[in-house]
Structure 1
């Protein structure tokens, strides 16, 4: 995240009648409910989202609609389209924010910490701990790879990948090829755990 000092004189127009688009994802086998809110403040929209998402019992995302006709597009404000498969670090981050909001609400209500499709969320990043796998909002925050029933070769490669970055220290630069190796291991994890968990590649950082 970057923060820059701004000057109010660097803008040439204002719009007090925005159009917001809200996406509510009721269940894995149901289409998203998509609603536009026009001529309202974002505060009013967020209040309505709380009701529509039933206090985060449903995943949701929010965008600002810009342009008209074929020029219409979306500026994502919270999350993004959950029905789209992430293709880069930014999209994975936005998906993760949606999931964290949903899972935290489930944990707060004492419900199983799983996604709407019943799967767990396993986060993959090196946190200088005993494992590079994590599961938020659970008692077992750091996940032992052996507990997931993974292939032995995959566990060894995962541990070696994690040790490589730990050896460089908290402030050190990642070893050459570390990101590419991590993405390769993540794809193997994703495929092996697909029936029971979604694996998020959180080591794939957003630039800046």
Structure 2
């Protein structure tokens, strides 16, 4: 996210007829239902999305509906994204994270099992100033996980620790070690392979 001061006079037009689209995803296969809302404020659209999802019993997302200069309809995502589209960038992973975290938080509050709609756990991978593994599971009693907690092979477990140590070896304001993010992507692929059928792996170290 970036923020900076602007001149409020730089806009040439304004509108107050926003059209919103709510996506609600159902079940392990993420069957989607969409609703369009007209004459609503963004606050009302968010409240409607939460209500249509059963107060986060289902995954949901919200977009602004717009037509471009060619008259072709498109979407500007405001919260989440199309959950059936595999994330291809750090920003898309952040939007998927929005959806998953509010869903899992709601399950935690209801005292339900800490799993996604498809029954998989959610393992987050990112470095931190702690010794050991860069593996985390939100809304769980353990939170910071070890390789043995997940039954990882000794080779992958050691490689994950080394990757985290490489990040820690620099000063806080230093750039990332050369090739560090690429090594992380390789480790994510290996982690997904070893946790297939057990957990989704979310790479939270990716840079925009």
TM-score computed with the length of structure 2 as normaliser: 0.94
Q: Which moved more, 1:163-172 or 1:139-148?
A: 163-172
CA distance in 1, matches of 2:30, 2:112: 22
CA distance in 2, matches of 1:97, 1:115: 13
Matched positions, count: 206
> 2:163·2:184 contact (CA, 8 Å) conserved in 1?
yes
Q: Which moved more, 1:39-48 or 1:19-28?
A: 39-48
Closer, same or farther in 2 for the Cα pair 1:30/1:138, shift >3 Å?
closer
Q: Which moved more, 1:68-77 or 1:44-53?
A: 68-77
Per the alignment, in what secondary structure is the counterpart of residue 14 of structure 1?
coil
- Unaligned 5+ segments in structure 2 are none
Aligned: 1:2 with 2:10: no
1:134 match: 136
CA distance in 2, matches of 1:29, 1:163: 38
The 5 A counterparts of 1:165-176 are: 165-176=167-178
CA distance in 1, matches of 2:23, 2:56: 13
Q: Offset of 1:71 from its aligned partner?
A: 1.7
The 5 A counterparts of 1:86-165 are: 86-129=87-130, 130-165=132-167
Per the alignment, in what secondary structure is the counterpart of residue 3 of structure 2?
coil
Spell out, residue by residue over 1:41-65, the C-alpha distance to the aligned partner (whole angstroms, 9 max, x if none).
1122122112101111111000001
> 2:25·2:31 contact (CA, 8 Å) conserved in 1?
yes
CA distance in 1, matches of 2:161, 2:102: 29
Q: Offset of 1:74 from its aligned partner?
A: 0.7
Closer, same or farther in 2 for the Cα pair 1:136/1:71, shift >3 Å?
same
Aligned: 1:46 with 2:39: no
CA distance in 1, matches of 2:71, 2:192: 37
2:196 match: 194
CA distance in 1, matches of 2:128, 2:108: 23
CA distance in 2, matches of 1:84, 1:204: 18
Q: Offset of 1:143 from its aligned partner?
A: 0.6
Per the alignment, in what secondary structure is the counterpart of residue 141 of structure 2?
coil
- Unaligned 5+ segments in structure 1 are none
Spell out, residue by residue over 1:79-108, the C-alpha distance to the aligned partner (whole angstroms, 9 max, x if none).
111000111111111101110111111111
Aligned: 1:62 with 2:62: yes
Q: CA RMSD in A?
A: 1.4
Q: Offset of 1:191 from its aligned partner?
A: 1.9
